[in-house]
């Protein structure tokens, strides 16, 4: 795959997708969102890819926000269409992807950048990272799911404060609030993320896909997560991975999962 604003490298069942606009601090513009949609969709269809790591180029920024120059003169209707298209084509896509996506946050993750990281299944950050949703300082609100995902991760009160003050928090606070799972030195960010990915790769791809679906169900309006879990649990029994996993356990050997 060849892209203008992305670098994609796949090795040992792990795909690293790097947003590569260093002169713009990797800001999300229309093309980058389209390329991320294309890259992530293709990687999700590749059975050799078991985990996707999403990061930014350089050591200054994961994604420093959306490219404001593209929408500064939008109308109400154009603004609504921008948010709707972005959520559907990228942010909701990542959240509901059957392949696990880890955000490796290197530096600033602001506005659309933090929203992108929050759409991933979990987050690992370098100790120099700074995170925030500064949209209210521009006369707008987060439009790529930030008002929904941030309260889910850190609680309503903290999310309200972050959004209303438009302030940034450091990695230690993000860790204590549950916004990120791990904090590491910048040079350890990708190696550590790959270590976590390796632990995921050893487990059943089909079961992981069902787990993602089921956990997400609990956060959806009008959906009974317990009922989704019951159905997904039962569905696992019909998979080759279940047969392999239980057989390997009884035979006291490591399973060899293929996914299905």
Q: In angstroms, rounded to a whole number, what is the distance separating the alpha carbons of residues 73 and 79?
A: 9
Residue 183 has pLDDT above 70, yes or no: yes
Query: Domain 6-201 sits in which CATH superfamily?
Result: 2-enoyl-CoA Hydratase; Chain A, domain 1 (3.90.226.10)
Confidence of residue 166 (pLDDT cuts 50, 70, 90): very high
Mean pLDDT, all residues of the chain: 96
Q: In angstroms, rounded to a whole number, what is the distance separating the alpha carbons of residues 66 and 228?
A: 35
Cα end-to-end distance, the chain, whole Å: 24
Catalytic residue numbers?
115, 135
Residue 149 has pLDDT above 70, yes or no: yes
Report the side by side order of strands in the sheet with 61-63: 61-63, 108-110, 130-132, 168-170
Q: What is the pLDDT of residue 69?
A: 86
Confidence of residue 67 (pLDDT cuts 50, 70, 90): confident
Q: What is the pLDDT of residue 26?
A: 96
Query: What are the sequence ranges of the domains in the chain?
Result: 6-201, 205-250
Residue 259 has pLDDT above 70, yes or no: no
Q: Report the share of the chain in percent with pLDDT over 70.
A: 99
**pLDDT tens per residue, range 90-138:** 999 999 999 999 999 999 999 999 999 999 999 999 999 999 999 999 9
Q: What is the pLDDT of residue 252?
A: 97
Q: What is the pLDDT of residue 14?
A: 98
- pTM for the model stands at 0.96
Residue 260 has pLDDT above 60, yes or no: no
Q: What is the pLDDT of residue 174?
A: 98
Residue 8 has pLDDT above 70, yes or no: yes
Q: What is the pLDDT of residue 258?
A: 84
**pLDDT tens per residue, range 199-235:** 999 999 999 999 999 999 999 999 999 999 999 999 9
List the structure tokens of 212: 């993602």
Q: Which residue is listed with tokens 């795959």?
A: 1
Q: In angstroms, rounded to a whole number, what is the distance separating the alpha carbons of residues 255 and 249?
A: 8
- β-strand partners of 122: 102
> Cα 190 from chain centroid?
15
Residue 193 has pLDDT above 70, yes or no: yes
Q: Report the share of the chain in percent with pLDDT over 90.
A: 95
């Amino acid at each position: 795959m060849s892209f203008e604003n992305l670098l994609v490298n796949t090795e040992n069942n792990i795909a690293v997708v790097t947003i590569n606009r260093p002169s713009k601090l990797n800001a999300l513009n229309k093309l980058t969102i389209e390329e991320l949609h294309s890259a992530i969709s293709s990687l999700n269809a590749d059975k050799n890819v078991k985990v996707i790591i999403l990061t930014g180029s350089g050591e200054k920024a994961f994604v420093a926000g959306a490219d404001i120059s593209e929408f500064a003169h939008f109308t109400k209707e154009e603004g609504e269409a921008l948010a709707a298209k972005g959520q559907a084509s990228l942010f909701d896509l990542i959240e509901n992807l059957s392949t696990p996506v880890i955000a490796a946050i290197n530096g600033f993750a602001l506005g659309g950048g933090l929203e992108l990281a929050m759409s991933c299944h979990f987050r690992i950050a370098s100790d120099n990272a700074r995170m925030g949703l500064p949209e209210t300082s521009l006369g707008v609100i987060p439009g790529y799911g930030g008002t929904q995902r941030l309260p889910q991760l850190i609680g309503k009160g903290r999310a309200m404060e972050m959004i209303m003050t438009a302030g940034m928090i450091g990695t230690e606070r993000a860790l204590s609030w549950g916004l990120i799972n791990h904090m590491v030195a910048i040079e350890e960010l990708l190696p550590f993320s790959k270590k976590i990915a390796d632990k995921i790769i050893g487990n059943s791809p089909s079961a992981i896909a069902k787990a993602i679906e089921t956990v997400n169900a609990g956060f959806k309006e009008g959906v009974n997560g317990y009922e989704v879990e019951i159905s997904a649990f039962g569905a696992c029994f019909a998979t080759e991975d279940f047969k392999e996993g239980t057989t390997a356990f009884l035979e006291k050997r490591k399973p060899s999962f293929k996914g299905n």
